[in-house]
Chains A and B, each alone.
Chain A
């Protein structure tokens, strides 16, 4: 049936759109649970996208490109970590600087690749399952990034709640002075958490430039890093809510495209703004419901041990 095919395709593209957001916000969630607010997500993501694309283009290997993207995101997050954690600079300013630096770097790296194109990451195909109507393509016809993002989500959720390292990480974000007094290496743990965030943002960038839209354009992240940051607040710093949030925003951003296609006479600019509008509305609703109480108590506060 034609309708089922269209619905199936829409659902599949929602999953794809949500995956970028999920990857980026998952990393930021971990960094924030450890107490560090990194506003550099957008910058780390676009550097990941650029480095990933250039590497894959040059080597012909998507896997190599993805690895390079992850390393690039981590490298940029390390710059942020040195500033914000070890030099105890203002986290908001350092994060914004990271984003600006990332956008500039990515433009430079990708300058000679504008207009080129890649063969994107291949989707999974399981005979029978993938061909199921409606949900078949959304569930069983995605590329590796989608499945990795879900595995990563499960791993993060499990680690945060069930393991000692997760407990220590949460403790560092709750009360860094107490964690320090108990002998936990506050700044080391925060650095690792921020680097995990950078790796995830790089991976999200690779998903964009190697799978979702496999070409290079200078501003291809288009604010997704900022939405990822908002999603962390939306989720009240809980991984499962993050999943719901990412898919909700993925849905809004895809559906507005289709609404544009129907030609309802609503200006396309307004529709394109929908995901961002939804971000603002979600944040307002969340704070009105005092749902945002889950914020780690030491979030955004630099830690400087006495000597």
Chain B
């Protein structure tokens, strides 16, 4: 078999042998093999787009492989649909949860189990499971009201009530606070001690090294290696994942800060009643020359904050937003851009870029008000196209064809494009939501370096990110968002992962020596 002898070990509970899956011309999985054993936590490592999700979907019957086979306890097996894999004791907790917001926890659990059980009986079983594995979940709450961490626990409880032999966790910690992650690790240890197998999908190397007994690394849809993560360093794992040294954002020597470019004063938004949609008394100042990061777990008001700053959401008190000394709370996005602001929202396809429009036309979406590409209501194609080429060259945006539709670009390249589009407008303020989400390591490093350089040239940069490591790497000050409130920003040098982690969980102090309520 070439790639290690692990696949041949007889005690593998579930094994993928040389699975291949194509989507059109893209080979998402190219002869990928993986063996999961009872009593072990097995890591599946790889960057976004490495083929991890495709492999998992084939292993649970959501996708059918083009070639290769699955072995269950050593015998070939075919899962034509998810129900058949569940019948064999394979439970999956997906990255994008398979939950029903409008239903209660116990109803959600019932939907994941075969046959009919009275909800009261099920609620009692949920309580048992919660106690046994330390998963805080209330059976009769509506899932729509739960935090992301709670939703994940609902998913896990739902899987566990089916008494799975293999539990697959798809990027489970990407939505958790450090504290919640610790809890999850304890649960995973309990599960493997009971003889269950856990497949732990992640790109966070430290936690893989701590938690997992084996790790399979994928890159570009191919099997790269199976290693013992405890024998590896984070750097060596990263090399396997990326295929090259991972560049770090250069620290740029301290420079003088200039005028405040963005000022939010007592900024409040009522919200529409759904979770994480209201803002309460946000105060923040971003000055020319600095990068301010906003950390926090998804769904704590970051999207509303971005929309309020960009002008997509109306704020009642116009005085609460000041851009470059002009009261801008009553302005729409175009007027705010005219003041020299640039905005890059989280969702690049559909929000930052129109999927079915060509890239050059997408340039227009944020530059039409700048005065030189559109004149007297007419688009100057030549100017537009030269700006488009400037972005493509300056930001290393790679694609096939001359001017493809936005949806044909990979995530990393589209992200470089939308950031380049804003940066080349020469803004005095850039607000970016999740600049490197789902972007490969090289593109992420490029984006961080670009923003860093912009700040050094006197731009004020506000970065909203759920990637705490990223903010610690390249922000000057960090504030934490939790339940629609924002802590006061603290210089990165004066805070710690632990302090920020606590604030992410709702303790309102990001300061290094901050005391936290129980």
Contact = CB atoms under 8 A, between A and B. Distances in A.
Interface of A: 164, 167-168, 170-171, 174-175, 177-184, 296-297, 306-307
A9 B102 CA distance: 43
B101 A181 contact: no
Contacts of B97: 178
A159 to B, nearest CB: 13
Interface of A is mostly: helix
B112 A182 contact: yes
A182 B116 CA distance: 15
Nearest to A178: B98
B81 A183 contact: yes
A182 B102 contact: no
Contacts of B92: 181
Interface residues of B, number: 23
Contact of B110 (A167, A183, A297): A167
Contact of A183 (B63, B86, B101, B107): B86
Centre residue among A174, A179, A182 by max chain B CB count within 10 A: A182
B103 A170 contact: yes
Contacts of B94: 181
Nearest to A170: B103
B111 A168 contact: yes
B235 to A, nearest CB: 36
Given A179-B111, A181-B94, A174 B102 contact: yes
A181 B98 contact: yes
A154 to B, nearest CB: 20
Interface of B is mostly: loop
A166 to B, nearest CB: 10
Centre residue among B86, B97, B102 by max chain A CB count within 10 A: B102
B63 A307 contact: yes
B63 A182 contact: no
Contact of B107 (A167, A179, A181): A167
B82 A175 contact: no
A152 B100 CA distance: 27
A263 B97 CA distance: 62
A170 B92 CA distance: 22
29 contacts: A167-B111, A170-B102, A170-B103, A171-B103, A171-B107, A174-B100, A174-B101, A175-B99, A175-B100, A177-B98, A178-B97, A178-B100, A180-B62, A180-B82, A181-B62, A181-B82, A181-B92, A182-B83, A182-B86, A183-B83, A183-B84, A183-B86, A296-B102, A297-B101, A297-B102, A306-B57, A306-B62, A307-B63, A307-B64
Interface in B443-475: none
Interface string B110-136: 111000100000000000000000000
A247 to B, nearest CB: 27
A170 B107 CA distance: 10
